[in-house]
Amino acid sequence: MSEQPGRDRHQRQTLILLIVSLVAILTAVGISILFATQFDRIVFLHFPLGFYILAQGVLIVMVAIAFWAANAQEHIDNTLAESEED
């Protein structure tokens, strides 16, 4: 048993957040590259879809993940601080 369960939980949640964020980004990029030529057969906003996804779609997803991860990590940090105060 660890002497600091609050800190261990914090480390675990931080690691999970990191893995989830990285997997989400890599999945988005990977799928976009892998199926780019197939997506290109579909037209979206006058763009070939594969082109649009890599030019803008994945960027939007990545930035959304960046802000979400920053907020989620702040929540995790606040939870640790509150649990230690209790």
Partner 1 sequence: MQPQARMRQANPHLGVYYGILTSAFISLGLCLAMFEQLGWRQSSLAFAMLLGPVAGYLAIAAAARTFDVADFFVSGRRVPPVYNGAVLAAVAVGGIGFFAYSGALFFLGFDGLAIGLGWTAGLILSGLLFVPYLRKAGTYTVPGFLGQRFRSRILRAVASLMQLPPTALLLAAEIKVAALILALFLPLSYSLAVAGVALAITTITFIGGMRSLTWSGSAQFIVGVVGFAVPLIVVSVLLTNLPAPQLTYGEILTPLQRSEVTAGLAPAPPEQQPDAVLPAEAPRASTKPFAQAFGAMSATDFVVLFFCLTVGIAALPSLLARSGVTASLADQRRSVAWGALFVALFAASAPALAAFVKFMLFQDLAQNHSGTMPAWLGQLGGYRFFAFRDANGNGSVDASEIALARDGIALALPIAARLPFVCTVLMATAGLGLALAAAASHLFTLASSLADDVIRAADPRNAMLPRVMMVWVTLAATALSASVFLAFANIDAIQALVAAPALAGAVLFPALVLAIWWKGCTIWGAIAAMLLGFLTFTIVLIFGGSLPFGHDHLTTAFAALIGAPVGLMSGVAASLIGPKPSAAEIAYFDEVRDSRGDALYDRARKRVTAAATAAAASAPTPAPGQ
Residues that bind partner 1 (CB under 8 A): 7, 10-11, 14, 18, 21-22, 25, 29, 33-34, 36-37, 40, 45-48, 50-52, 54-56, 58-60, 62-63, 65-67, 69-70, 73-74, 76-77, 80-81, 84
CA distances from 12 to 2, 19, 86 (A): 13, 11, 20
Measured in degrees and rounded to the nearest 5, phi and psi for residue 54 equal -75, -30
Residue with Cβ nearer partner 1 (1 or 36): 36
Residues facing residue 44 across a β-bridge: 47
Residue with Cβ nearer partner 1 (1 or 20): 20
Distance of alpha carbon 39 from alpha carbon 57, whole angstroms:
12
CB of residue 86 to partner 1, shortest distance in Å: 14
CB of residue 23 to partner 1, shortest distance in Å: 12
Residues facing residue 47 across a β-bridge: 44
